[in-house]
Amino acid sequence: MTDAGRSQGDVNRRLARILLDLHRCEHGRLEGDPCLSCGGGSSGNPVIRPGSVIGYTRHGDEIVMPSWADHNEPESWIRRS
């Protein structure tokens, strides 16, 4: 259990939801979903586009925003140097 009394599985699920949310437009729609406020299909997060560097691993590899098609693949989040 974590210090807040949640299992590691619960923590992992919450983190996975946060990563998925990185693909949402400012109106809460996932990339490609209908969004009336966007005027059609959501184009996803306008701030962090696929390929954008969002951090670094402890080994200095870039952590990048993957494409929508690859977001479930952990290796697609890391760009090896």
Domain limits, the chain: 1-46, 48-81
| pLDDT(48) > 60 | yes
Residue 2 has pLDDT above 90, yes or no: no
Inform me whether the pLDDT recorded for 3 exceeds 70. no
pLDDT digits (tens, 9 = 90+) for 23-34: 999 999 999 999
68 exposure class (CB count in 10 Å sphere: 0-12, 13-18, 19+): middle
